[in-house]
Structure 1
Amino acid sequence: MKTSTSIPALVLGLVASAAAHGGVLSYDIGGTTYKGFVPYNSPTGQSTIQREWDSYNPIQDPTLSTMACNANGAVGALTATVAAGSKITAYWNAPWPHTIGPMVVWMAKCAGSCLTYQPTGNVWFKIDQAGLESGTLASGLWGSGQMVNQNSTWTSTIPKTLAPGNYLIRHETIALHTSNAPQWYPECAQLVVTGSGTGVPGASYLAAIPGVYSMSNPEVNINVYSSANADVTTYTIPGPAVWTG
């Protein structure tokens, strides 16, 4: 017997699915608002500083090339100019649904123009991160919970001594609410950093994405609800230390 599903039911299902996930929708950079790429829409006609990402779904395999700037990661048409030492606020879809897991903000210097650059190898460095801020793994305050408490926004500062040039900025949250099945939500935007700084992160601060995360890492392949983790109040965010300049 043939069965059918009504169009309203299908639409509601898609909306519910999308609402469970998401990403960075726009930015405030030096007081100017920049819209992000609009997923589920054709890239034709979209002029944005953000690299293309096509769905609200997370990445769950840390070895995929899309870990760098999400799928499909095609370059944006624009860049935003920002002075070193300035603040950048990323606006996630609100309310962000996942409150267990860290927030991490990375940058990578583009070799030439960011409009053509592909970030491969050890080029990424952290400028900001927040993991388990207080309480236990399962019920404490995480960076992602802080983001939600800030109306689903996250503000970071470009290191004041960072040498001027073309850079990618990569905002990421790692949702750990599903046992042993982390969810990555990364987005990249294209910047021109100005200033008189000369700071360049050393090799110990650099990491490859994909590469920095592995399912063999106990901080990645983690069940925050397990009895062994019931009283744990510390969490080490994978990857190098934050470079402050």
Structure 2
Amino acid sequence: MMLRRLAQFLLALAFFTLVSAHGFVQQVTIDGTVYKGNNLNVGTPAPSIIRLVSTNSPVKGSTNSALNCGQDAQLASLVGNANPGSQLEILWVGGTDGSSNWPHNTGPLMHYMAKCDGSCSTYDSTNAEWFKISELGLEADGSTWYQASLTSRAPVNVTIPSTLAPGNYLLRAEIISLQLAMSAGGAEFYPACIQLQVGGSQTQGPTSSEECLFPGCYSDTDPGILTPNIYNPPIQYTFPGPPVASFVSGGSSSATGSAAPSPTSTGSASGSSQEQADAQTETRPCALNATISWRGWA
């Protein structure tokens, strides 16, 4: 009887550990204005600009329809106000109630945008055409992923392109955790969609060749998604998906996390257009020259 109870306890503990080792977007701040999201265990979601997903577990597989905005993502009732050049802070948390910190530290942070047909609060993003506005891999030290700063509850900073034409847009924030990506299908995708109305009077946007669909942007065997040598430095990391849209950085077609300046004193990662302008490589590699910290690995 005692052994049976012990087995039941260990099974429950393993299940709790598995559930608590994932996460979601809990809050978005736009130019200082805070927009709260909903926890995953609420009965009646409060109005938000963040599309609520049904689970904190990752999306698995590049052909999964949930790769678009997350598993069972619901339309949000609110739309956040932004402008070209607006600064967004996106807070990723762990668990289901947001009381835990983000648990993973290995893999890129990327942000896409897509124009909504009408208000984003009623827009079905199934066939949305996404363009990339930022990508972050390794910090300048070449040994720490920007994702690692999230484990201390730092937000991810991203800038709305300063020349983006006004309109209604979804912002798709994505984390790809690579700790299990040594075999095809092992990568863990965490997408989240944020509903925006962008003002201003700018006129630029992506070309059709810089846009893609989700699913469709990735393959399970793409470099950067299938990463058999992720823990065997030195390596070259190649971001999956299209390059950062050329209008975002004034002509540069790529951006690297390792080219970006180090996070601020709060540890937040940055995705500004100036960082993207600094990157000049064609393959968008991130050189890793030291052993990655295993802090927060799950």
Q: Using structure 2 for the length normalisation, give the TM-score.
A: 0.72
**How many Å apart are 1:97 and its aligned residue?**
1.4
2:284 aligned residue: none
Cα distance between partner residues in 2 of 1:146 and 1:84: 26
Cα distance between partner residues in 1 of 2:79 and 2:24: 19
Cα distance between partner residues in 2 of 1:45 and 1:225: 38
2:218 equivalent to 1:213: yes
**How many Å apart are 1:17 and its aligned residue?**
2.8
Cα distance between partner residues in 2 of 1:57 and 1:125: 25
- What SS does the corresponding residue of 2:212 show, helix, strand or coil? coil
Cα distance between partner residues in 2 of 1:121 and 1:217: 22
Q: 1:15 to 1:28 in 2, by over 3 A?
A: farther
- Over the matched positions of the two proteins, sequence identity in percent amounts to 36
1:142 aligned residue: 145
**How many Å apart are 1:74 and its aligned residue?**
1.5
- What SS does the corresponding residue of 1:69 show, helix, strand or coil? coil
**Among residues 141, 154, 158, which one is paired with 2:156 in the alignment?**
154
Q: 1:7 to 1:90 in 2, by over 3 A?
A: farther
2:67 equivalent to 1:64: no
**How many Å apart are 1:120 and its aligned residue?**
3.3
1:122-162 alpha-carbon deviations (Å, 9 max, x no partner): 611111111234577xxx2223124446x331001001111
Alignment of 1:120-135 (within 5 A): 120-121=126-127, 123-133=129-139
Cα distance between partner residues in 2 of 1:12 and 1:174: 25
- What SS does the corresponding residue of 1:115 show, helix, strand or coil? helix
**How many Å apart are 1:15 and its aligned residue?**
4.3
Q: Which amino acid counterpart does residue 125 of structure 2 have in structure 1?
A: P
2:114 equivalent to 1:108: yes
Tell me, which stretches of 5 or more residues in structure 2 are unaligned? Answer: 94-99, 250-298
- What SS does the corresponding residue of 2:72 show, helix, strand or coil? coil
Q: Which amino acid counterpart does residue 104 of structure 2 have in structure 1?
A: H
**How many Å apart are 1:7 and its aligned residue?**
10
Q: 1:6 to 1:50 in 2, by over 3 A?
A: farther
Tell me, which stretches of 5 or more residues in structure 1 are unaligned? Answer: none
**Among residues 119, 123, 132, which one is paired with 2:125 in the alignment?**
119
2:78 aligned residue: 78
Q: Provide the alpha-carbon RMSD of the alignment.
A: 2.6
CA contact (8 A) 1:96 1:152 kept: no
Count of aligned positions: 237
**How many Å apart are 1:73 and its aligned residue?**
1.3
- What SS does the corresponding residue of 1:211 show, helix, strand or coil? coil
Q: Which amino acid counterpart does residue 31 of structure 1 have in structure 2?
A: G
- What SS does the corresponding residue of 2:121 show, helix, strand or coil? coil
1:202 aligned residue: 207
CA contact (8 A) 1:27 1:33 kept: yes
Cα distance between partner residues in 1 of 2:48 and 2:12: 27
Q: Which amino acid counterpart does residue 143 of structure 1 have in structure 2?
A: Y
Q: 1:164 to 1:16 in 2, by over 3 A?
A: same
Which range moved further: 117-126 or 185-194?
A: 117-126
